Amino acid sequence: MERASRKVRVGIVVSDARDKTVTVEVRHAKRHTRYGKTIPVRKRYHAHDEANDANVGDTVRIEETRPLSKTKRWRVADVVERAR
């Protein structure tokens, strides 16, 4: 039996102050249901970074995983682009 594919998001690291944890901000656009206006939406996820590899400003890919703590349900899959 195959497991369903896990959700994947791409976002920017906004905080790396905690050990093995980063805060990733994911932005996308959403259409208002009634008026059709495009509204920018942002959401912040706490992600597990085992190697402490990601730094503030890096673009990272995160994927859903089992609960690792009270707020962590995501882990850093890889760093897409380094900050300058």
* Burial zone of 71 (CB within 10 Å; 0-12 exposed, 13-18 middle, 19+ buried): exposed
Looking only at the bridges linking them, the beta strands covering 21-31 and 8-15 are antiparallel
The predicted structure's pLDDT at residue 42: 98
The predicted structure's pLDDT at residue 4: 73
* Burial zone of 9 (CB within 10 Å; 0-12 exposed, 13-18 middle, 19+ buried): middle
pTM: 0.88
The predicted structure's pLDDT at residue 61: 98
The predicted structure's pLDDT at residue 84: 86
The DSSP code for 19 is T
Give the residue carrying structure tokens 């656009």. 29
CATH topology of domain 8-81: OB fold (Dihydrolipoamide Acetyltransferase, E2P) (2.40.50)
Q: What is the pLDDT along the chain (84 residues), one digit of tens a residue?
A: 666 789 999 999 999 999 999 999 999 999 999 999 999 999 999 999 999 999 999 999 999 999 999 999 999 999 999 998
The token pair at 71 is: 């707020």
The predicted structure's pLDDT at residue 5: 83
The predicted structure's pLDDT at residue 1: 61
